[in-house]
Structure 1
Amino acid sequence: MTSTVAGTELGGAGAPVGERTVWLAFTPLDTVFVRDGRSFDAGADTAARPVWPGPSTIAGAVKAAFGGDEPLEVRGPVLAERRAAGWKPYFPVPSDLVAPFNGTQMLRLHPSELPVETDLGEDLQWLTASGEAGKGKPVTGWMPGRQLADYLAGRLPRGRADVAALRSAEPEPVAVETRVGLARTPERTVRPGLLYQAPHLRLREGWALLAQCVVGEDWDRKPVAVVALGGRGRRASVEVAEGVRWPDPPAAAPGREAFPGGRVAVYVATPGLWPQGWQLPLPADVGVRLVAASAGEPEPVATASPAPEAEKWKTSRMLRWAVPAGSVYLLRFPDAPSAARWALGTGDGERGVHGSAYGLERTDRLRTAGFGVLLTGVWT
């Protein structure tokens, strides 16, 4: 199921001519344990630091699912709930939605002039909220894909929307379970007295992690039934997920352009690793500028060479800091047509950025692993 804007397939397709996409669902058979890449000495350190599975973790699971063969690109992970009608994807609530401390109303931050001088650039503006919401806190949780599409189209929040409208993923789909471990020697024998805590994540019944795989038209690999997911020997069942799609971008209507005034809101769907840190790379030839950004706390990401040799894997390991999923960037293009070309593509085969990994070369392993998937919307 796809939608077409300016001649470019979006949503469930998301691949150029000569390529197609396949979604896989990974359902953990036990808890999920993924460390954040920072050094940890079991026993000397009292607690490991787990993180939400990132693009590299899900890309490794995809490779294992296809018997070692790699798709052209993996985009994910996406949290999803199995429903009778199929998989229902969920996404982190956009970071520019806030609510007053003593209320339930939800507002969207808007750009305004910086109250102080900074070294971030003359054009960058402050994201603020009027009234009591300016003293509030971010709205957190998981937003279903259809509501995120409403947000991207500028329909959410409408007026003073209620925060309860976003609580569609309750009870919380992910629970934390703290396990106690005992440190061991390199020979795998016990080191007496050296205990540590290792929090694990457990997805509730019916929930899974999805990944969109971009493959060639002649791709005929079938996924295996079970693969490793994360560390500690944890495993997950694998199946093809039919009918899954990214939330749609705003569409043009009679008398109304898709991106009025050239304003584009960029939602970061998977953690972004970009050359300039938190700054979203912008095309240099269209006159676009960054107006404001709401980037959350940076996430530690460990990367390494996929080579099977253990020594090469060890020497290639690197700790990076990623822009977290849910972050929002506000861009202004010279006009609506140039904004639409960048976001949605054109009818002559040029791909837009909506629903694709962004900011790195097509062959960069960080991109092919799914870092920096963007969704585009509007802001006022």
Structure 2
Amino acid sequence: MLIEPRDPLIVRDGRPFTNSPGARARSLSFPLPQTVAGAYRTRRGLLEGLSFPEAAEEVRGLGIRGPLLAEEGEGGWRLLVPRPLDAVRLGERVYPLRPLEVPPGAGCNLPEGLVPVGLPSPSLKEKPGSLPAFWYWESFLDWLLQDAPQDFEPKGHAGPEREVRTHVALSEWGAAREGALFQTSGLEFARKEKGAFRRLALALWPEDGKDLEGVYPLGGERRLAYWRRGGPPLPPLPEAVLAGLLRHRAARVVLLTPGFFRGAYLPEGKAFFGAEAVAAVVGRPVVVSGFDLAKERPKPSRRAVPAGSVYFLRLPEAWGEGEVRAFAERVWMQNLSEEDQDRKDGYGLAALGVWSGEPFRWEEV
């Protein structure tokens, strides 16, 4: 299903916002999964005649996958995903970051069993350039299917644009209060391309398949959004990815939404359903909090692995084709967070890519 904000969407970043003059309400660059999951569950519950907070625990069992970004195109809605963090631009070329073999006698402060990740040559020392924050699915899939892409140029854009509005506080008589200006920042779900505007929306996939339609609030200030059926389906597992896993007994796992793991940025025991993580490219943690409707109090702050993070895995050699396919199906477009409620909230949606399984050797580059 699709959620298209009618007004700029406010999803605050958690910094204090008071009624003091000059206050600014800042927005995240993209809504967290729990924000959209909470709005979906609340709307489902109200439509089914439930009352809150009494029914809060009941609706928490409604799982989702997403949200991801979607854009209206000539042939329908197109899917976009966050930029994978194993891609870096140097000059005019995009290079892949890959695991590096630590030479004898050298060491690092990574957890035991993990190796560093870097560029294929130490001569690549230019300042990294910018890449689109969101990639069209076709570009992203091309990146997943190539271990060492050549002449790769991702197609995408920066996503929803920030819109800042300046407001003034009113006195009890309805007049402007002297010096009481404040600002709110929201996300405009539209972008201008070649003189025309293209609509953007949030793509969401309820696990029970029940979509919603109508105009309902989403985010701060109860701003309205259009909720509708349709939109891009979840992409199926490419056979080329499965063939790469069988050939190399290795894989890349890319998070499309932030994820929670018991080992901070790693799953407990570094294991993904029997495959072992040997390296990772992880961005800055995303601090997540919120309000617990059932307990009527704020949730404790936690740190999530950001979307776009990449894990390099090795698969057991003893696995046959059936075990490899089962592993791929447990990862592809599934929520990988370790706690059941986090998975239901949409955290840890993942895709699979190919990797040769062979790290770069420092002494040869």
Partner amino acid, structure 1, of 2:40: V
- Tell me the distance in 2 between the aligned counterparts of 1:356 and 1:339: 20
Aligned to 1:233: 222
Partner amino acid, structure 2, of 1:264: A
Deviation at 1:266, TM superposition (A): 0.5
Q: 1:72–1:42: structure 2 CA closer, same or farther, 3 Å change rule? A: same
Q: Is the 8 A contact 1:345 1:352 kept in 2?
A: yes
Report the count of equivalent residues.
331
Pairing partner for 2:205 from 212, 228, 236:
212
Deviation at 1:304, TM superposition (A): 3.1
- Tell me the distance in 2 between the aligned counterparts of 1:282 and 1:87: 39
SS in 2 for 1:360: coil
Q: 1:42–1:99: structure 2 CA closer, same or farther, 3 Å change rule? A: same
Q: 1:208–1:222: structure 2 CA closer, same or farther, 3 Å change rule? A: closer
Q: 1:88–1:285: structure 2 CA closer, same or farther, 3 Å change rule? A: closer
- The superposition leaves residues 150-183 of structure 1 with CA deviations (integer Å, 9 ceiling, x where unpaired) of 222226x62232xxx323x34x442111122446
- Tell me the distance in 2 between the aligned counterparts of 1:159 and 1:140: 18
- Tell me the distance in 2 between the aligned counterparts of 1:335 and 1:372: 26
For normalisation by structure 1, the TM-score amounts to 0.76
Aligned to 2:346: 370
- Structure 2 residue 304 is matched with structure 1 residue 317: no
- Tell me the distance in 1 between the aligned counterparts of 2:112 and 2:321: 22
Q: Is the 8 A contact 1:264 1:339 kept in 2?
A: no
SS in 2 for 1:208: strand
- Tell me the distance in 2 between the aligned counterparts of 1:139 and 1:242: 26
Q: Is the 8 A contact 1:66 1:224 kept in 2?
A: no
Aligned to 1:158: 149
- Tell me the distance in 2 between the aligned counterparts of 1:31 and 1:374: 28
Runs of 4+ in 1 over 6 A off after TM superposition: 188-191
- The superposition leaves residues 124-156 of structure 1 with CA deviations (integer Å, 9 ceiling, x where unpaired) of 11111125544442634211112222222226x
Aligned to 1:334: 316
Q: Is the 8 A contact 2:21 2:179 kept in 1?
A: no
Q: CA RMSD in A?
A: 3.2
Partner amino acid, structure 2, of 1:262: R
- Tell me the distance in 2 between the aligned counterparts of 1:286 and 1:58: 28
- Structure 2 residue 11 is matched with structure 1 residue 30: no
Aligned to 1:178: 164
Partner amino acid, structure 2, of 1:174: P
Q: Is the 8 A contact 1:266 1:377 kept in 2?
A: yes
- The superposition leaves residues 31-81 of structure 1 with CA deviations (integer Å, 9 ceiling, x where unpaired) of 011112243334267333311211011112322443446473111111001
- Tell me the distance in 1 between the aligned counterparts of 2:24 and 2:322: 47
- Structure 2 residue 53 is matched with structure 1 residue 77: no
Q: Is the 8 A contact 2:218 2:224 kept in 1?
A: yes
Pairing partner for 1:258 from 223, 230, 245:
245
- Tell me the distance in 2 between the aligned counterparts of 1:339 and 1:263: 13
- The superposition leaves residues 325-357 of structure 1 with CA deviations (integer Å, 9 ceiling, x where unpaired) of 111111112228379736x427xxx95121111
- The superposition leaves residues 184-215 of structure 1 with CA deviations (integer Å, 9 ceiling, x where unpaired) of 89xx9987534333221101142100111101
Deviation at 1:274, TM superposition (A): 1.9
Pairing partner for 2:284 from 265, 285, 297:
297
Mind listing any 5+ residue stretches in structure 1 that lack a counterpart?
Answer: 1-23
Percent sequence identity over aligned pairs = 29
Deviation at 1:377, TM superposition (A): 1.5
Aligned to 2:96: 108
